[in-house]
Structure 1
Amino acid sequence: MWDALIPKFGVKITPAGSKIFIVRYRTEAGASRKYTIGPTNAIGLEPARDIARQVLAAAAAGQDPSRDRTMTRDAPSMIDLRDRYLEEHADPHKKASSAKNDRILWKKHIIPRFGNRRVGEITRADILEMQSAMFAKHHTANRVVALLSKAFNLSEVWGWRTPGSNPCRHVKKYPEDGRDRMLNPEELGRLGQALLQLEAQRIDPPSFVPLIRLLLFTGCRRSEISNAQWSWVDFENSLLMLPDSKTGRKIVQLSEAAMEIIRELPREKGAIYILPGRIKGQPIKSPRAAWESLITMAELPDLRVHDLRHTVGSIGHRIGLSQKLIAGMLGHKQMATTERYLHTYDSDRKDATDRTAKQISEWMGEK
């Protein structure tokens, strides 16, 4: 049954009685092709006519829509892109924690939206629509777009997209809250009292209170302290050797207050981590419940763990330390490998960490 308006467009009735819109055309080589548009009960007449016009126009321009559709059907999907991205880029070239974060972004935000789509089909409009849907989570939206931008760049290298077609190009990032939250003396006092109360209550996990105190007395990132191993601690020189921090290998000069905490930590035979978690042989994980209890008790509802690092740097500045000393206090990127370096590791830096930790300890009401 052919349409009176569009030549070669019509309805095919299958042996089972189903009705399907189709359009026929010839390729440049003269081969006859049939393009199936879809069931009549799923697509209206006018939309089907529009598709037929597009197919005929493409054929007139020398294209082969039926073959192109088959190629598209067999083209790599976004799931394929995820798998290859993780296998060939994230796992071999990124830190394990970063690769883990990438997996979470794929699982929670990308695959649910684009999983069944073909890599070559994704447009800038798709990316903008996804970004708009994540408006309430600026930081996460920016991370997802950055990940996809890298993945689409790789897809061009792999021949899965046309060179220069990355749909994330010119997609502007959301502005992020660049606030640097620093605790003032009164807030540090409340935090110190809350830590004492949680310690008296034997908060679970037991390593939580030492974790927070060490973060305040070192200025380290949470992962650097929570994953710290006994073998990384140089007790003689008061150093923490981090073989794989965010910035690579680095040395942290430990204050006397931090060393005192470490010396008092229980150390079971064969223990690896200075702050063990609930699972034997594993370090303390992100203790959300304990953190919520702490900031609620201290009346600091907007406090983030990373704000403790900002606080250390801020107090260092407040007591007159130079920017160079503050940077060194928060962690030296190079790994010391010689005895000479250890013995001359900048006594000013040790003094800076001690002065800063002493000030924090006083404001926390611990000394």
Structure 2
Amino acid sequence: MRDKITKRKVDALKPNPAKDEYLWDTEAKGFGLRVKPSGARSFVLSYYAPGLHQTRRRLTIGVFGPLTVDEARKKALELLARIADGEDPAMMAADDRRAIRDETVAVLFPAYLQDGIDLRRPGTLANYEILGRLHILPALGHLPVARVTSKDVTDLHRSMRANPTNANRVVQLLKAFFYWLERQEVFRGENPARRTERYPEKVRERFLTVQETARLGEALRTAETEGLEPAPQHRKPTSGKRVHNAGMFAAESRRPANPSAVSALRLLILSGWREKEALTLRWDAVNFETSTATLEDTKAGRSVRSLSAAALELITAQPRLEGSAFVFPGKISGKPLQEIQRLWYAVRHAARLDDVRLHDLRHSVASTAAAQGHSLFLIGKLLGHKDLRSTARYAHLADDARKAMADSVAGAIGDALSALPSALVGPDSENDTNSARRLRRV
């Protein structure tokens, strides 16, 4: 049926219980009204796909009621103009529906992690997976990536304000994720994580004193000879059936620690290496002639580290286990030691250092080097930093060492300035007198 569509004609058109009824407009080609058997009325546009003259598309413009006849006709004319320019609105709408169904954060985030296997270190990817599983997917997983807004990201960031560091890492990860989507041509527009303001992060500075290091050494010696009780947070709860004799087995729980684990912990204290760098150290990476170790896979890439005499002596003392390429072998044949965290918790508790993290041992090595006046460049090389910015956090310690040197030098010169020449006794006194005589003759 064809006629000019008006409100009166729309109201007059009766539904057919057996099929949809259509009224096609005589003013806008392809513009029509569809009446469902239920009586629901909506405006549609029928057209041939650009370049495909045998393929007819049908697109719903809107529902009658919220949309008037004149408003619907105006939208139809706008769509016809786009079609004349080569666009295919029905196909674009289908793509949008597919994106809502198939291109959600939950679907594409695992693909982003998979794509990074050859580009990022396993530890980095593992951290990304944890942040995604615990924070990103529960909050944004149901959303199509095209519909994630800056407000969504900011709301997630604010919900994590109790842990500002993790909150900032989530925003950084989302920003990288959406840039990846843009490169895959899945996402267009402004990155929704770009405008989120990060929380200020407090840089932790915890360095061991000489006395604290001594307590740590004492606890290590006890761990390897007698054994240590597990730290409180790692003790297994006593069974209710054996509460009455729980103390009978206390002595059995104290066994000498794994010698490899104790040695690996000592190497961390001496070298300032990262935990995985020490645990995965291979024998073929150690050059005993040059006192260096070449670490192929570190956070900063390939890294050549100088080994102190104490560290080299410790490595040399490790027994070589047949079939293992690692200096600190694990319980599984051919594998390195997997972790030393439980030992570390027990040792630090015995040393009354429960606030010290394993990573703080690295800071302690750097602070000792800075306090001795070594340059930030050399400290960075010692720790395996990729650039000087990572080492810059120790700049104030190096400044303290330089100030102490300046005070010492200026103090000695000041003492000489204030002293009488006759009071100066030393090998240069006679030379100074001769110099003074020559000056007077001149």
TM-score where L is the length of structure 2: 0.61
Q: 1:170 aligns with which of 195, 207, 212?
A: 195
Q: 2:372 aligns with which of 319, 341, 360?
A: 319
The 1:102/1:220 distance shift into structure 2, 3 A limit, reads same
Q: Which has the higher contact order (CA 8 A, sep 6+)?
A: 1
Trace 1:141-290 onto structure 2 (pairs within 5 A): 141-162=167-188, 164-200=189-225, 201=227, 202=255, 204-290=257-343
User: What residue in structure 2 maps to residue 132 of structure 1?
Assistant: 158
2:118 is paired with a residue of what secondary structure?
helix
Q: Give unmatched runs, 5+ long, in structure 2.
A: 1-9, 19-37, 48-56, 80-87, 228-254, 388-442
User: What residue in structure 2 maps to residue 121 of structure 1?
Assistant: 147
Distance 1:207 1:220 in 2: 16
Do structure 1's residue 83 and structure 2's residue 74 form an aligned pair?
no
Distance 2:95 2:123 in 1: 37
The 1:333/1:33 distance shift into structure 2, 3 A limit, reads closer
Distance 2:335 2:346 in 1: 23
| Offset from partner CA, 1:15-69 (integer Å, 9 cap, x none) | 9xxxx99772334969573879xxxxxxxxxxxx9xx67xx98996557999776
Do structure 1's residue 102 and structure 2's residue 125 form an aligned pair?
no
2:117 is paired with a residue of what secondary structure?
helix
Distance 1:26 1:269 in 2: 78
1:104: how far off? 2.4
1:253: how far off? 0.8
1:205: how far off? 4.4
Distance 1:259 1:58 in 2: 82
Q: Is the 8 A contact 1:239 1:254 kept in 2?
A: yes
1:160: how far off? 1.7
The 1:228/1:32 distance shift into structure 2, 3 A limit, reads closer
| Offset from partner CA, 1:108-135 (integer Å, 9 cap, x none) | 2222222232111111111111112222
Specify the code of the residue in structure 1 equivalent to 2:182. E
Specify the code of the residue in structure 1 equivalent to 2:350. M
Q: 1:73 aligns with which of 80, 86, 97?
A: 97
Distance 1:153 1:59 in 2: 39
Distance 2:304 2:204 in 1: 27
Distance 2:327 2:194 in 1: 45
Specify the code of the residue in structure 2 equivalent to 1:94. R
2:128 is paired with a residue of what secondary structure?
helix
Q: Is the 8 A contact 1:72 1:118 kept in 2?
A: no
Do structure 1's residue 33 and structure 2's residue 60 form an aligned pair?
yes
1:271: how far off? 1.1
Q: Is the 8 A contact 1:253 1:331 kept in 2?
A: no
1:237: how far off? 1.9
| Offset from partner CA, 1:190-219 (integer Å, 9 cap, x none) | 211221222221555443221221012112
Trace 1:52-63 onto structure 2 (pairs within 5 A): 61=75
Q: Is the 8 A contact 1:249 1:333 kept in 2?
A: no
The 1:35/1:225 distance shift into structure 2, 3 A limit, reads farther
The 1:297/1:121 distance shift into structure 2, 3 A limit, reads same
Q: Is the 8 A contact 1:183 1:311 kept in 2?
A: yes
Q: Is the 8 A contact 2:174 2:193 kept in 1?
A: yes
Specify the code of the residue in structure 2 equivalent to 1:147. L
Distance 2:60 2:308 in 1: 78
Distance 1:21 1:139 in 2: 57
Distance 1:153 1:182 in 2: 38
Distance 1:245 1:59 in 2: 64
Specify the code of the residue in structure 2 equivalent to 1:289. R
User: What residue in structure 2 maps to residue 343 of structure 1?
Assistant: none
The 1:21/1:296 distance shift into structure 2, 3 A limit, reads farther
Query: Between the two proteins, what is the percent identity of the paired residues?
Result: 33
Q: Which has the larger radius of gyration?
A: 2
1:182: how far off? 0.8
The 1:70/1:259 distance shift into structure 2, 3 A limit, reads same
1:93 is paired with a residue of what secondary structure?
coil
Distance 1:120 1:103 in 2: 22
Deviates more, 1:138-147 or 1:102-111: 102-111
Distance 2:345 2:222 in 1: 14
User: What residue in structure 2 maps to residue 310 of structure 1?
Assistant: 363
User: What residue in structure 2 maps to residue 357 of structure 1?
Assistant: none
Q: Is the 8 A contact 1:182 1:308 kept in 2?
A: yes
The 1:317/1:26 distance shift into structure 2, 3 A limit, reads same
